[in-house]
Structure 1
Amino acid sequence: MELTSVLKFLENRTILVVGATGFLAKIFVEKILRVQPNAKKLYLLLRAQDNNAALQRFNNEAVAKDLFKLLREKHGANLNNFISQRTTILPGDITCDENLGVKDSNLLEEMWKEVEAVVNLAATTNFDERARKYGWPNPYVFTKALAEMLLGDLKEEVPLVILRPTIVTSTFQDPFPGWVEGIRTIDSLAVGYGKGKLTSFVGDPQATIDVIPADMVVNAMIVSMVAHADQRGSQIIYHVGTSVSNPVEFTLIQDCAFHYFKEHPWIDKQGKPVIVSKVNVLSSMDSFHRYMVLHYLLPLKGLEIVNTVLCQFFQAKYLELHRKIKFVMRLLDLYGPYLFFKGIYDDMNTEKLRRAAKEAGIEMDAFNFNPKSINWEDYFLNTHIPGVVKYVFK
């Protein structure tokens, strides 16, 4: 493992980013543009029909977001010009058999000559059930596993780094604390709870929930790229998580959500604050199903009968209860395979990378991926949950 200055490594470097409008990809691109404006070129591949559509999508889904506000403050009206000089936006599609769907032959030739590193952040985040017949909980993890096997088989002399983050949460500190986009795994629970849709769920209260802030994942990506760039034919896997080095229990997240929404209740469409109480956590699937039948499904059936007799007088209340039940059961279906998971993720390789980076004098303040630096209670109360409320709640 050879480590040098990250900023020096990135200078005049040409990188292809696949899936450039994804959550982690945008953080990666913003980070490179902000900390090393002298990077030679970022080729940004995203799904689009043509160049104009690709550029419009990148501007709308990346540059226009709060994520880019520090760059916007620094460059002002010149931001688009600054970005266009350092990036080439590529329309493509990773499902195509050839060249990732890039059709411009001149551009392909240019990329073959210039690209020095490829960062693949494209994924399907579809959580339907089709993969379960093959023994996988959802297509997301199934396709990730397939991709790893294919890359390992086809890489030849290209150094390959596989980086496996656990549950990715909002940024810890970079470019600023609390930026998040979309409903990530545990945030489905936070959104449902804050809006009063989730009053009970199932799981082990003492279970370790392995979460990692998004900027730490991106920093680990960048440092690992520096460490292995010249190791031809090598392959290494990094687990980037916290269950070993700084574990967090489900009860801590639950308590933080309760205290936050008690102090800062969500205001519903009628302008009324949603009053929350502690979630009733059932310890088994059987007990949860019994609870749902007694407290929700039977009352729903009774309400349906009364509503029919009274000519839909309780229709609004019936639909509200039906939506609440449907929401909870959907969450259970999506995350059921993980609710009683006891595993922890061995991050020994990542810890070795951290130590090597520190010993080599890498700029670890700028590229921090040490989970021991996180105070979880402070992070959830003052960074993550407020970020989810600001950027995710609708």
Structure 2
Amino acid sequence: MLRTVPDVGKIFLLIKAKNKEAAIHRLKTEILELELFKCLEQMHGKSFKAFMMRKLVPVVRNVCESNLGMDPYTANEIAKEVDVIINSAANTTFDERYDVALNTNTSGPSRLLGFAKKCKKLSLFLHVSTAYVNGERQGLIMEKPFHMGQTIAEESATSESPPESIPVLDIIAEIELASDLKFSMHENVVAQKMIALGLQRANIFGWQNTYVFTKAMGEMLLNSMRGDIPVVIIRPSVIESSIKEPFPGWIQGIKMLDPLILSYGKGRLPGFLGDPKAVIDVVPLDMVVNSSIAAIAKHGITAKPELNVYHVGSSAVKQLLLHDLFKFSCNHFTCSPLMNLKRTNIRINEMKFFNSMDNFASYI
């Protein structure tokens, strides 16, 4: 946005930190130093840091606290200026503690929405979710919001497991369940029990893991509480490195598919348990960003009090099969092999796929 829409006034960055000085330090060391901004640095030259510090305003916050952890004066000043809010804060650990994931992924967005209602100039609230809130649904999934209490298990009910056999999803009850368990057990075992509880509750209602379950409940709360606030929910699939902007191949850290690809390149993953024809939906991060900006432009101008959902993925247009993913990886590491500690090239073979744990275990 700073590159393509340089006339933007200010971007308030809510940063988790002890105090304002710590937030400024994180902005300067963890954000401005990123390779991502090299093109902006080339554009602005010596005035780069001054430009960035003029546009980016670090604000100490915590989505797990009331009023986002901001002091009243700061909150009021920001509320006077903000016209678009983008929420991308999330705990993405698949098997996170249930209480932790609920606090961040379910209650967090609603806390930010509560602040949004104080912003007099607000024209849009954009929430970054995930395509996998759709759980274990099959086939073409429409871009529709969740309503309170909606479950994947109920939609998938059959005569063998009728809807009446599925418990009702009550988000407040889920939060109380996690809270009661947390305070009823010894701290030495509570973490393990919380992880197990999250996975159990997710599976009961039709979601694969705690992450996507709590993200889905976060969407439900937004839809229920939004009132007249215009809301857009973006649901990207697996986000990987940029395809074009600001330059090809950028990503911060090791994400999603990267650990699998790197393990394969290091010769540590010669076989894989799974269907080689399974579709892996991957989308470049700049396409997700561009989709978000386009949604902001479209719905921020009209500012209609409605909720719109957009799926951002690739498999509906160009499918990537699991077999092809590792075939491309094999070609890459054959041409550009990684090196071991002895500084010699690591040789790899084509990935082998297995359809049973017994066969996979015996091979590995």
How many angstroms does 1:267 deviate by? 1.0
Distance across 1 between alignment mates of 2:17 and 2:209 = 25
Matching of residue 113 in structure 1 with residue 80 in structure 2: yes
Counterpart residue number, 2:276: 205
How many residues in Structure 1 have an aligned counterpart in Structure 2? 259
Query: Structure 1 segments of 4 or more deviating over 6 A?
Result: none
Report the CA distance between 1:78 and its aligned residue: 1.8
Match of 1:239 in 2: 311
Q: Identify the match of residue 89 of structure 2 among 102, 110, 122.
A: 122
Q: Write the distance in 2 (CA, Å) between the matches of 1:115 and 1:139.
A: 32
Deviates more, 1:158-167 or 1:179-188: 179-188
Distance in 2 (CA, whole Å) between partners of 1:90 and 1:143 is: 26
Residue pair 1:46, 1:90 contacting (<8 A) in 2 also: yes
Per-residue deviation, 1:93: 0.6
Residue 257 of structure 2: SS of its match in structure 1? helix
Distance 1:289 1:48 in 2: 47
2:47 match: 78
Given that 2:273 and 2:360 are in contact with CA atoms closer than 8 Å, whether structure 1 keeps it comes out as no
Question: Would you say the 8 A contact 2:95–2:211 is kept in 1?
Answer: no
Q: Give the TM-score normalised by structure 1.
A: 0.63
Paired residue for 2:2? 33
Measured in 2, the distance between the counterparts of 1:276 and 1:251 equals 15
Aligned partner letter, 2:53: S
Deviation at 1:276, TM superposition (A): 0.6
Aligned twin of 1:390: none
- Give the superposition deviation at 1:249: 1.6
Q: Report how far residue 196 of structure 1 moved.
A: 1.1
Secondary structure of 1:118's aligned partner: strand
Task: Report the CA distance between 1:164 and its aligned residue.
Answer: 0.2
Stretches of structure 1 that go unaligned for 5 or more consecutive residues are: 1-31, 297-394
Q: Which amino acid aligns with 1:289?
A: D
1:166 offset after TM fit, Å?
A: 0.3
How many Å apart are 1:197 and its aligned residue?
Answer: 0.9
1:244-300 deviation line (CA, Å, top 9, x unaligned): 122222222111000000110001222111101011111x2xx233331x344xxxx
**Distance change >3 Å, CA 94–CA 54, structure 1 → 2:** same
SS of residue matched to 2:93: coil
**Distance in 1 (alpha carbons) for counterparts of 2:211 and 2:344:** 38
Cα shift at 1:84:
1.1
1:291 is aligned to 360
Q: Pick the structure with more helix per residue.
A: 1
- What is the RMSD computed on CA atoms of the aligned residues? 1.4
Using the TM superposition, give the Cα deviation of residue 142 of structure 1 relative to its aligned residue in structure 2, in angstroms: 2.4
One-letter amino acid of the counterpart of residue 245, structure 1? V
**TM-score w.r.t. length of structure 2:** 0.69
Task: Return the alpha-carbon distance in structure 2 between the equivalents of residues 46 and 145 of structure 1.
Answer: 24
Residue pair 1:43, 1:88 contacting (<8 A) in 2 also: yes
1:207 Cα deviation (Å)?
1.4
| Residues 44 and 88, structure 1, Cα contact 8 Å, conserved in 2 | yes
Residue type at the aligned position of 2:85: V
SS in 1 for 2:38: helix
Provide Cα deviations, 1:124-146, integer angstroms capped at 9, x if missing partner.
02232622111243332123112
Cα displacement (A) at 1:183: 2.1
Kept after mapping to 2: 8 A contact 1:124/1:139: no
Q: Is this contact kept in 2: 1:47–1:92, CA < 8 A?
A: yes
Q: Secondary structure at the match of 2:295?
A: helix
- Please tell me whether residue 191 in structure 1 is matched to residue 191 in structure 2: no
Q: Residues 267 and 348 of structure 2 are in contact (CA less than 8 Å); yes or no, is this contact kept in structure 1?
A: yes
The answer on whether the counterparts of 2:276 and 2:322 sit within 8 Å (CA) in structure 1 is yes
CA shift, 1:69, in A, is 0.6
Structure 2 counterpart of 1:67? 36
The CA distance in 2 between the partners of 1:153 and 1:59, in whole Å, is 38
Q: Name the % identity.
A: 34
Q: Which residue of 2 aligns with 1:143?
A: 214
